[in-house]
């Protein structure tokens, strides 16, 4: 693996781990939550710096449905991160306590809830849209270049089971309430098992990855079929002339 590609993958893995860590605020305390949040902000900017070519090419080329979807997802993730950055600084009691910010705690709390929960969903969907690329990078550096059909079926079945549990976790963790700010306070169970908590959030992430990954595959297939239909029509029109 090329050094830049390895660095990109490392940054993305650290961002994903940080995101999962931050969702478990009740287990680690406010100070550590703030420091990891600040670290994730640095990783987020590093991610964008490492993908400068993507930014340079935003206004180049055509915009099929898949590219529009990827762009929208990237910008929505950016807004969610900026919302968390702003609200985190306002509420900070450790990392950004030196900033002369007074008031605005009530608004910042609401913005932080929205940023955190939408950020988790959007980042997971963003991962799903790039899942082929991630698998391709890992496969390129693996001795096994092709996955046997039986393994592919097994992995798909496991993915479906994880996604099914993710739906249960979405309801259990009351995501709908926090995504649409039906409550200004998040219920935190300080006594629950860390293993079960992170199993729920990993399943939720798996659900989003599966939806985005297979949704993008379906979208690409439809575009291919549409192009083939157009080519057939053009060929028929040519011979009928």
Q: Where are the domains of the chain?
A: 3-240
Amino acid 25: pLDDT: 95
Amino acid 171: pLDDT: 96
**CA distances, 137 to each of 8, 15, 63, 155 (Å):** 11, 18, 25, 18
Task: Give the mean model confidence (pLDDT) for residues 217-237.
Answer: 72
Categorize the per-residue pLDDT at 151 as very low, low, confident or very high, splitting at 50, 70 and 90. Answer: confident
The model scores a pTM over 0.85 = yes
pLDDT at 152 exceeding the cut of 90:
no
Percentage of residues of the chain with pLDDT beyond 70 = 90
pLDDT at 95 exceeding the cut of 90:
yes
CA dist 172 and 207 (Å) reads: 14
């Amino acid at each position: 693996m090329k050094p830049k590609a390895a660095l990109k993958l490392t940054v993305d893995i650290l961002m994903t781990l940080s995101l999962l860590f931050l969702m478990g605020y009740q287990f680690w305390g406010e100070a550590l939550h703030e420091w990891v949040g600040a670290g994730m902000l640095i990783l987020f900017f590093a991610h964008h710096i490492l993908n400068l070519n993507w930014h340079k090419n935003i206004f180049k080329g055509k915009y099929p449905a898949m590219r529009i979807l990827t762009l929208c997802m990237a910008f929505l993730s950016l807004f969610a991160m900026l919302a968390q950055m702003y609200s985190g600084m306002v509420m900070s009691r450790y990392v950004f306590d030196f900033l002369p910010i007074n008031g605005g705690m009530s608004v910042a709390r609401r913005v932080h809830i929205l940023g955190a929960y939408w950020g988790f969903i959007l980042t997971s969907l963003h991962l799903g849209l790039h899942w082929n690329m991630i698998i391709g990078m890992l496969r390129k550096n693996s001795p096994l270049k092709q996955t046997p059909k039986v393994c592919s079926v097994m992995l798909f079945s496991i993915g479906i089971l994880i996604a099914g549990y993710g739906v249960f976790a979405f309801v259990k963790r009351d995501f709908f309430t926090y995504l649409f700010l039906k409550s200004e306070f998040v219920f935190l169970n300080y006594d629950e098992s860390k293993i079960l908590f992170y199993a729920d959030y990993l399943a939720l992430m798996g659900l989003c990855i599966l939806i985005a990954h297979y949704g993008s595959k379906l979208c690409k297939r439809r575009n291919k079929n549409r192009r083939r239909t157009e080519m057939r029509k053009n060929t028929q029109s040519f011979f009928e002339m």
